Amino acid sequence: MLKNWTVITQPVRLASDGVMMRERYLQSLKHANHKHTVRIVSIFGCAETSNRIALAGEEFRLNQQLHNRKGGRPLSSYAVEYCLTLPKGYRPTPKQWQSVVRDCCIALAKHCKLNKTDFAQYRQQIRAVLHQQEQGSKQGSGDHVHLIIGKVVANRVLKELQQKKATKLIKQAFNHSVLKHVGIDYRSYAPEENNKGKRLSEWQYQYEKAHAALEMEKIILQMQKQFSKWLIAMEESDDRQKRRQRNRLMKTIDSLDHKLLSKQQTKQMEKIKLRVG
């Protein structure tokens, strides 16, 4: 059983450049990371929203540099990004995702204790993009929403958005909202393990195959050593040793009769059989 649906929190770095880079990334089906993404849908906002987040951050940074006589590091992250993900097999509609994201954003706004005026600006800096994923593929994640929220509201930085409390809160809001609007409960979800046995069998097959190949190499090496001893016995006219090595060679060759040999190994074995036959 899962503890929560998956939520990943990270700051959007590199100031306004970082915000616009994320905007381009979220809208690009051609990006290497999106080879399992089949559809991209804007849930809240647009490219202009990302631009608004960047401008608010730049304005705050400029004022910070003009009025901060003590110095200090200028603001370099203008937004926080949350990735809300459901397992494969679940495909809420864009409208359902919109309701889920709205609930999460309201929960975060309450956490930041925004008044009505602040909330009006806050809601203008919410960018949410849905990525619908291939459901049949073993690779890649399930459907997910990238939620970017501007950190600069009413000339202050909403540091609360990046705290662990905020991540815990949005996970709780996500859990509750998915149950409310989509009708699925994380507590009743059991990760699919149908392929576990298949994966294990494949691993066992590869192991056994490698083990068999190693054993065959040992037999081939033994055959080569026996053949070398037989050649020496031939040169020295040692009939006793010659018969001994021939008998050993024939037993070794017999043990390879039902083995799947490479072309080179088969050719090598046939040459030895002709010589000692």
Q: For the domain that residue 43 is a member of, what is the CATH number?
A: 3.30.930.30
**What is the model's pTM?**
0.69
Out of 188, 207, 222, a domain closes at 188
The verdict on 51 and 165 lying in the same domain is: yes
The verdict on 39 and 169 lying in the same domain is: yes
The verdict on 49 and 132 lying in the same domain is: yes
Q: How many CB atoms lie within 10 A of CB 173?
A: 22
Q: Look at the chain and report how many structural domains it folds into.
A: 2
| pLDDT tens, position by position, 143-197 | 999 999 999 999 999 999 999 999 999 999 999 999 999 999 998 887 765 445 5
pLDDT for res 274 = 79
The verdict on 86 and 212 lying in the same domain is: no
pLDDT for res 133 = 96
The verdict on 170 and 232 lying in the same domain is: no
pLDDT for res 269 = 77
The verdict on 129 and 239 lying in the same domain is: no
Out of 158, 188, 218, a domain closes at 188
pLDDT for res 207 = 58
| pLDDT tens, position by position, 194-214 | 445 555 455 565 656 666 677
Residue with tokens 């008998």: 247
The verdict on 72 and 139 lying in the same domain is: yes
The verdict on 125 and 242 lying in the same domain is: no
Domain hosting residue 98, numbered range: 6-188
